[in-house]
Structure 1
Amino acid sequence: MGIREWVEGRWKELDEEGRELMMVGCWAIWEARNRVVFEDTRVEVGAIVKRVWDVVGEMEGARLEGLEQEKGDDRKGAVAQQKGWRVPEEGWVKLNVDAGVKEGVGVVCRDAVGSVCWGLAIQRREVWDPRIAEAVAVLDGMEEAARMGHDRIVVEGDCLEVMEALKQRKSGRSSFVLVIDDILNICSLFTSVRWSHVSRINNGVAHALAHVLPVSVGRSVWNRCLPDVVSRLLEL
């Protein structure tokens, strides 16, 4: 029996949940294979399994949030979409970061009462691996936070691999790890830095900034406000 026949046979035996798990598993194995081939990185089987369950758990959380959003009108949906976002502690600000298509970056900074301190959107010509793009978004946000004079920051994003690499202070020689090194080095500009992973649906404001603005190559910063096209997502 060939691999194609085996896969087709197993696929027919699985329910919807099993098929989802199988697809994510195949994707995780392929991702691990690429890291071994292109980054000369050893990947443990346990890490692949953890990656699968993390992704499946995030997908399930996003589905549940989506069901909540569908129950109301557009305004209520915007509220439901952001209901998982939490304000930082007093004296801290939270940066929500995201990387979009064609290397767009979106960052929104909010304080302990949920008010917008500033927003950032960048569009570049470069094309990067998605992990690198997400890591660069973190770096862009932290550089802007340093320019704005913040000293205690929570950096929150929906790319689990970036957040785990930062928490573990990942080392290596790949392009991805070099950006992680740059991020860790810039931490010296702050009194305290924390990393937080969040589901994509609760990273909606940064996601909108990354995917909608700016429309051309360049950099835009908004102080104490955000563009109308994304400001409705701020309702909690």
Structure 2
Amino acid sequence: MEHGKFMVGCWAIWECRNKALFEGNEVNPKRVLQRVCDVVEEIASEGFGGKESRLKANKNPGVGIGDRQGWQDAEEGMVKLNVDAGIMAGVGVGFGMVCRSSGGRVEWGLSILQAQMLEPHMAEAVAILEGLKEAARKGHDKLMVESDCLQVIDALRNHKHGRSLFHLVLDDILILCSSFSLVVWSYTSRKNNTVAHALAHTLVNEFGRVEWSDNLPPTASSAVLFDLSLMK
């Protein structure tokens, strides 16, 4: 647990750094320190990854899933694909995705940076589309796709149709799902999606895509270790 507190403290510092770099927020050392203390205190008081919270999530699949504490395994026989998008002012849009199997083992990760700006909900939908494309190329058959954008997850669950560019991306996603025998949509909170979030902000000066094996960049690796500490 102490290791977990240390890792989330590092993550909180990194989060403040990203907001300063990409969103132009003023860096106040006292506020950064307070942010770290708040996050660590939250872990201590709420018991991130505790047995009780995991049992509750298992008994009520899909209900209150965004409130659970810590990354959760996919069901047996499936892999879990976490995706995220990050709007970086003056740079472009970053997409991050990580595929993990039983026990939190990283199968692969992917970082993409494009110059074209997108609305947040559109960017989150594109992140899912890119993640599914990579999962299909890797030969995965059954997967749970998890995002911290409830708007997109609800739209996919309800098969919402329309003529906007957003709905066209949703259509592409649903068509691509025919490549798999099973796709389950899952919503989670940002704090449970930190690995994908880190990968979405990894590329800053180089447009394109970088594929990662189990050797993820430092910030994403730290987030993986933190997730694993909550699963123990």
Scaled to the shorter chain, the TM-score interval is 0.5 to 0.7
Q: Cα offset for 1:135?
A: 0.2
Q: Cα offset for 1:112?
A: 1.4
| Shift in alpha-carbon separation, 1:93–1:214, aligned structure 2, 3 A | farther
Do the aligned residues in 2 keep the contact of 1:117 with 1:225 (CA within 8 Å)?
A: no
Q: Indicate yes or no: 2:40 matched with 1:70.
A: yes
Specify the alignment match of 2:142 in structure 1: 152
Q: Residues 181-222 of structure 1: CA distance to partner in whole angstroms, max 9, x if unpaired?
A: 000000010010000000011111101111233531010001
Partners of 2:182 and 2:94 lie apart in 1 by 27
What is the identity, as a one-letter code, of the residue corresponding to 1:87?
A: D
Give TM-score, length-normalised by structure 1.
0.66
Q: Percent identity?
A: 50
Q: Indicate yes or no: 2:213 matched with 1:223.
A: yes
- Of 95, 101, 119, the residue aligned with 1:105 is 95
| Shift in alpha-carbon separation, 1:72–1:134, aligned structure 2, 3 A | closer
- What RMSD over aligned residues (CA atoms) do the two structures have, in Å? 2.4
Q: Indicate yes or no: 2:114 matched with 1:128.
A: no
- Of 81, 87, 94, the residue aligned with 2:80 is 94
Q: Residues 164-194 of structure 1: CA distance to partner in whole angstroms, max 9, x if unpaired?
A: 0000000110110000000000001001000
Q: Residues 53-101 of structure 1: CA distance to partner in whole angstroms, max 9, x if unpaired?
A: xxxxxxxxxxxxx88732399xx9xx95994210111210001000012
Unaligned 5+ runs, structure 2: 1-35, 50-67
Specify the alignment match of 2:199 in structure 1: 209
What is the identity, as a one-letter code, of the residue corresponding to 2:84?
A: D
- Of 175, 182, 190, the residue aligned with 1:200 is 190
Q: Residues 6-56 of structure 1: CA distance to partner in whole angstroms, max 9, x if unpaired?
A: xxxxxxxxxxxxxxxxxxxxxxxxxxxxxxxxxxxxxxxxxxxxxxxxxxx
Do the aligned residues in 2 keep the contact of 1:68 with 1:80 (CA within 8 Å)?
A: no
Task: Give the length in aligned residue pairs.
Answer: 167
| Shift in alpha-carbon separation, 1:80–1:129, aligned structure 2, 3 A | same
| Shift in alpha-carbon separation, 1:72–1:179, aligned structure 2, 3 A | closer
Q: Secondary structure, in 3 states, of the residue corresponding to 1:177?
A: helix
Q: Cα offset for 1:113?
A: 1.5
Specify the alignment match of 1:174 in structure 2: 164
- Of 44, 65, 71, the residue aligned with 1:85 is 71
What is the identity, as a one-letter code, of the residue corresponding to 2:188?
A: V
More helix by share: 1
What is the identity, as a one-letter code, of the residue corresponding to 1:98?
A: D
Give TM-score, length-normalised by structure 2.
0.67
Higher mean alpha-carbon deviation, 196-205 vs 219-228, is at 219-228
Do the aligned residues in 2 keep the contact of 1:97 with 1:107 (CA within 8 Å)?
A: yes
Unaligned 5+ runs, structure 1: 1-65
What is the identity, as a one-letter code, of the residue corresponding to 1:220?
A: V
